[in-house]
Amino acid sequence: MKFRCTAVCVLMMALVSDLAAAADFTLSGVVRDMEGNAVAEASVWLTQQRNARRTEADDQGIFRFSDVAVGEVELVAWKDGYALGGMQARVAGSDSVTLVLGEPDEIEVRVINHEFQPLPGAHVKSMRVGDRFHVSVEDLVEAGFPAMRSDDEGFLTIAHLPKHSHISCVIQHRDYAQAHVAYLPVGRTQNQDIPVYPGVPLRGRVTGPDGEGVADARLTLFRSDGDTVRKFADELTDREGFYTAIVPRGTYHIAVQHPDYGAPDPKSIHLQTDREENVADVELLPARHLRGRVVDSQGEPMGGVDVAFLRHDAIFAQTLTTADGEFELQVGETEGAVRVFPPEGYMTEAFSDVLVRMEETPRIDVGALEVKPLPAIQGTVANQQGDVVENALITAVEGVAPVWVFTDENGEFEIELSHMPEGGVATFAAEHPLRFQRARFEVDFRNPEPMSIELSQYEPDAQAESYGETQNNLSRLVGEQAPPIVCDDWWNTDPVELEDLRGKVVVLLFWGGFDAIGEGRRRLQEFSALNRLYADVDDVVVLGVHDSSLEAEDVERYIRAYNIDFPVGRDVDTAETFTRYRVTYLPETVLIDRGGRLRYFSAADRIPELVKVLRREPS
C-alpha cells in the first residue's frame, strides 16, 4: 500500500529515529529551583528512543549523561518536595542544559470502565506537562521513576506536577484500550471520571532478515480515521520479538523501527472483531547507510540540521547533523531520496532532493549539501492611482506559516520567513486597512525581486452563512443583540461592558491559553495584528475572552508569554459568557456590529473584509 505525504509523513515522522550516529556525546546540566538555587541530589532521567537512564545530581545540582546519540532526547528531573522539571532537547553534539523544579501540586481523577465501574490498576503511560515537556512515564518507571496507578476505588493521583500548570496524558490498563486525555488543570478539584473502553487485541512478531525475532523493536500504531492519520500508541517487542496491544476497532498502520535494521513500509490492518486473524507480523530489512555533510554557502559545517531519507514522499529515516555537519542515515530500501530540512532562516541551494540508488551497495556518500540564508521579500503597495498605501496588511495565503506584516508610511513592506516554502513558491495577499481594495501576489524564493503590488477594488461578500465552518453553532444568535460579556478579571484595559461599545464594531475572540498551539496560536497572532491594524480607528475594538478553567494568574502568564497586547477578560467561574455565546470549542471568532448585534461567527481570516462591511453600515 502506498501512502501519500498527508498520511505517511505524519506516520513515519513520529517514528523516525537517529539510528546511525555514533553514541559518543555528553549531555550535562544543572538542576535549579525557581530562585536559581542548585537542587542537590535530584534524580534526572534521560530517554532516547524509549530507552531510559537515570542519574543523580551532585551537591551542586550538576548531572551528566555520556554516550548520548544524535537526535531527540527527553530529560526529566525530580526531587521529593519539588515539582517535576524537564525539557526536550535535540542533540547534535555535547551540550549543557538547565532544568528547573518548581512548587509541586497534583491532580486526582477516577478511572472507570465502560460499565461505569471503578477500575483499579490503571496507570499513566505518558503525559505532557503544559506546553513545556513530555514525560514517558511507563519507560521511566523501569528506571526508578514514581509509578502512578489507580487504587481499588479507581482513584488515580498524578503527583509532583508544577503548580498552576496543566497536563495531557495517556491512561492505560492491561485489559482495555488506552484513553487519551486532552486537558487536566493542575490543583483544581476535578471530580472527573476518565472512562476506558474495551478494545480489540492485536498481536504479532517482528523478525529480522534471518527470520529470528527482534527484541526491543519499536512499533508505532497510527489510527486512520478517514483522511486523518494520528499516532495512537507505542509498543516494544519482547525478548523473542513478540508484541501485543489492545486498541479500539478501526484501521491501523504499523510502523516499526530498530537501530540495527532498516525500516520496511508501514503495514496496514483493519481490526473489527476479537479474532485470531488480528495478527500483524513485520520483517525488518537489512541496514544500509547513507552519509553526507551539510554546509553553508561558505562551505562551513552546519550542525543540528534535519536530514531525512524518503520514499514516495514518506520519511523512513531521519537524523541531525553533528557539530561538524556530518550525518548518517540507516535505511532499508535500495532506492529513495535524501532531503535536507533547512534550519530557521535558511533554504537549500538546490530545490530538489538528492536521488540515491544503493542496490547491493551497503554504504553510499552523497557528499556536501549546501544551505543558504532565506532572502527577505521586499515590495511596495499602491492603489490604482499610484498612491502608496500605508498600514496595508500583508498576510500569507498559501505555502508558508502565518504571516502578518504592515506597510510603512512609504507603502513599503518586508517579509522575512523562518522556513522555505515547499517548492520555493508562496502566495500572499495585501489588504487596504479601510477600503475594499486587495491584491494577491506570488513570491518565487529562487528569484526574489522587489515587488510592486497594485490593489484593486473588490465587492465584499457580506452573507453570514458564507464564512467558514465551525464546531460552535451560533447561528441562532446571528442578528440578535450580542449577549453581555461578564468577566472577573481584565488585562490591557479597564473593565469592558458591551453596552459601552455601542457605535463601534467589536471583534471578539474566545480562546484558552492551554489551546494556544496550531489554530489557537494563529488566532492569537491574528488578533494582535488586528489590534495594530485598528489602533487608530475609533469605531473598531478588538477584544479577547479567556475561558474560566484557569485562575487569573495563569491567564496573565499566558498573556505575557504570547505578548498579547489587545484587551483580554477572563470569563467568570460559572462560564457565563461562554455559555451565553454557546462556545464549547476553541478558538472562536465573533463580530458584533455598531448596533450591538452579533453578525458573524467563525470569521477567522476574513475579519478585515467583514469589519469594513460593518463599518459602512449605519449604526
The residue assigned the cell 478501526 is 250
Q: Which pLDDT value is given to residue 8?
A: 34
pLDDT, position 467: 52
Instruction: Please report which confidence band the pLDDT of residue 519 belongs to, taking 50, 70 and 90 as the band edges.
Output: confident
Res 71: pLDDT? 84
Contacts of 527 (CB under 8 A, 6+ apart): 507, 509, 542, 544, 564, 566
pLDDT category, 229, cuts 50, 70, 90? confident
Q: Is the peptide bond before 433 cis (omega within 30 degrees of 0)?
A: no
Arithmetic mean of pLDDT, 219-247 = 89
| pLDDT tens digits along 166-212 | 899 999 999 999 999 988 888 765 678 999 999 999 999 999 999 99
pLDDT, position 307: 95
First to last CA, the chain: 60
- Helices and strands counted in the chain (H then E): 6, 43
**256-287 as b/e: b if 16+ CB within 10 A:** bbbbebbbbbbbebebeeeeeebebebbbbeb
List the domains of the chain with CATH numbers: 25-101 (2.60.40.1120), 104-195 (2.60.40.1120), 200-283 (2.60.40.1120), 288-372 (2.60.40.1120), 377-457 (2.60.40.1120), 467-615 (3.40.30.10)
pLDDT attached to residue 9: 37
Tens of pLDDT, residues 271-292:
987 666 799 999 999 999 999 9
Reported pTM: 0.73
**Cβ proximity of 564 and 524 under 8 Å:** yes
pLDDT of 401 > 70? The answer is: yes
Residue 619: is its pLDDT beyond 80? no
Residue 41 has pLDDT above 70, yes or no: yes
Return the pLDDT at 243. Answer: 96
Each residue of 561-583: pLDDT tens digit?
A: 899 999 999 999 899 999 999 99
Percent of the chain with pLDDT strictly greater than 70: 94
130: left (phi over 0), alpha (psi -120 to 50) or beta: left
- Residue 70's pLDDT is what? 86
- Average pLDDT, stretch 379-386? 96
Residue 259 has pLDDT above 90, yes or no: no
pLDDT at residue 502, as a whole number: 94
Q: In whole numbers, what is the pLDDT of the chain averaged over residues?
A: 89
CA count, 13 A, side-chain hemisphere, 395: 21
